[in-house]
Structures are given as structure tokens and as C-alpha cells.
Amino acid sequence: MEMRLKTTRILVVDDDPATLLLLKRTLERHGAQCITAASGEEALAIMRTTPMDLVLTDIHMPGMGGLTFLKHLKEEIPVDVVVMTGDIKGFRYDTIIHMGAVDFLVKPLEMNEVTLRLQRVIRERRLMRELEIAHTTIKHSYLDTVRRLVVAAEHKDEGTGDHIVRMGDYCVLLASMMDLSDDFIELLRYASPMHDIGKIGIPDAILTKPGRLTDKEFNVIKTHTTIGAKILANSSSEVIRLGQDIAISHHERWNGKGYPKGLKGDTIPLAGRIVCAADVFDTLTSPRPYKSVYPPHVVQEFFEKQREEHFDPDIATLILDNFDHFLALANLNHSEPYPRNDNFFHLSERDIAEMR
């Protein structure tokens, strides 16, 4: 039992000095670090400056009572709270728990019961922390595994993994400007780099061909969407499922002339529309084996021209209205500064075909 409470910091709140002294001596004898407060106001002031592992508070106290104190804690400071009262008829256990307490003790207190109850609360809290750590470790492990697979696919096309970093940043910037939920934005950050994972199944000779693709070669390129969707299919992970949606839809066009399904307008998943615009922006502002970097005015003209053709018009408008922000990200995440002039710019045959 000593090990259960050892180094645990407990705040005991009660207006009865004898109860405070008894609890303090008992808890410290079992290894806890115990601080006492005689009122809710005093206890709240302590909590705002001193982190605690557990709070044990009476309900009936002059001034701020225990339940008001509990309400403040729930709103301001996450901590486990055990309440105690001698008025067992005045309160229901489920009501106290609903207000945010983790347990309920009835006065007069029996010290063995107090220590056993607090031991249970501390043990459960530590188990929850261990589960959170394990969950985070597992999450990072599978995200790292997916990222390595994505880098392997990206290496065939771009030669580095920088594109997937930029894609995450562009998509997060767009989603933030669209006031989407924090949960969706976090999923999008990890899922968007999976958009081209299907390129792992495309021959290098086609991916890196400097000249214009033949119709047959372009049809092969198109299959990276369905290959990617198959790779990511049937996952229980939200991130992987969103990645599958993105892989299959990020080459669909607002006007319905994209691939592989020819989806049109808002029948295209939102994540796919966001990734589509971010992917084209990064492609235009990055060198590839088959193309040079497009200067800013060409990128702007392309997005203006394709605002209601290739792209969701609202998303294209966000990029155009915040163009400098996106260029700043391009500068931040490229090894070479993004060029501001077009003195050495020229369109390759493949550029011309893809600009149609």
C-alpha cells in the first residue's frame, strides 16, 4: 500500500481541523505528499499554482462548498477528485460521479477504507496513463510504417521524401482556412501523403519519362489511384481509411473529367478535393525529372483558369487569395529557394500536355 501512494501528491480539503490532521497523518504514513486546505477558495488557489495527483474534498464547507470547488476543477484543471460527506441522505452517488468525481466516501471516515479507495484511484489513473502511452506508441509505429511505404513509392517519382512533407503542410493550411475540425485536420496531415502510394506499382520508365506520355503510358499512370486504394483497403484505422479515399479520388476533377471514376463537383470526397489542389500546387512549384519549376505568375494563371474546371472553386480561391502563404511553405520546405522570376523557365512537352 505504501508503494501505491508513494510520491503521490494529494490535496485534502475540509473545514474541520481534526479531519485534516487525521487524513494528513494517515496519507503521509503511507508515503503520500499531502497538502491541506480549509476551504474551497484556498484549495482552488493551491490547485492553480501547484499540480496535484488527487484531491480529497468535503462537500459541506463555509464559502465555496466542495461541489462548487469540484465544478471549478472540472472546468479549469484536470485532476481526479474524491468527495466525502456526512450527509449521505442529501446526495446520490451517481449525481456526484456525474459532476466529475471519481469516488465518494461517507463520514465518519474509516482510515483503512480511505487508503484503499485512494489506492484504487491512483492505480487506475496510472493504468490509464500506461494505456495512453501504449496507444501513442502503437499509433506512431503504424504511421511510421505507412510513411516508410509512402517514401518508397515517392522515391520512384521525386527521388526524395520531401513531397510528402510539403503535402501534409499544404493540406493542413487549406483545411485550417476552411475551419474544419481539429480531428479531421490531424487525420488529413497523416493521410494526405498517402495519395500517391500506388505509384509503387508504376514502372520507373513511365514515372520519370521526360517527354510527353503516350495514351497507353498515361493509362498506366492512371492506375496508381486504384493501386493505392487497394493497398490501403479494409483497414480499421481512420487514418488509413481516409488515405484510401484520398488515393482513389485525388485525380478527380470538379468538372467530372478526372479519373478513375469521373466524379464531379462535391461528389468528390472533400479530402480528395483538398489533396488534388495541394498536389497540383506542389507539382507546379517543384522540379521533377520531366519538368522545371513553374514561376509564380504561371501557377496563379493555372489556378485561375482551372478554378471551376480542375479544382473545387472554393479551394482554388483560398489558394489564390493566400498565394504568398503557400509560396512561403514552398520556400520553407524546398532545399533550393523557390524562384521568383522566369528567366530560365521553359515548358517541356509533358508540361504542355498536362497544362491542357
| Best CA proximity match to 168, nearest among 154, 157, 159, 156 | 154
- Three cell numbers written together for 326: 503557400
Q: Which active-site residues does the annotation give? A: 199
Task: Specify whether the CB–CB gap between 225 and 248 falls below 8 A.
Answer: yes
- Three cell numbers written together for 133: 502511452
Query: What is the Cα–Cα distance from 130 to 133, expressed in whole angstroms?
Result: 5
DSSP letter at 86 equals S
| Best CA proximity match to 63, nearest among 37, 100, 93 | 37
Amino acid present at 173: L
Query: What is the Cα–Cα distance from 273 to 315, expressed in whole angstroms?
Result: 8
Query: What is the Cα–Cα distance from 322 to 315, expressed in whole angstroms?
Result: 11
Query: What is the Cα–Cα distance from 250 to 264, expressed in whole angstroms?
Result: 12
Transcribe 257-323 into DSSP letters: --SSS---GGGS-HHHHHHHHHHHHHHHTS-BTTB-PPPHHHHHHHHHHTTTTTS-HHHHHHHHHTH
Query: What is the Cα–Cα distance from 272 to 276, expressed in whole angstroms?
Result: 6
Task: Specify whether the CB–CB gap between 25 and 50 falls below 8 A.
Answer: no
Query: What is the Cα–Cα distance from 70 to 64, expressed in whole angstroms?
Result: 10
- Three cell numbers written together for 225: 489511384
**3-state DSSP assignment of residue 234:** coil
**3-state DSSP assignment of residue 177:** helix
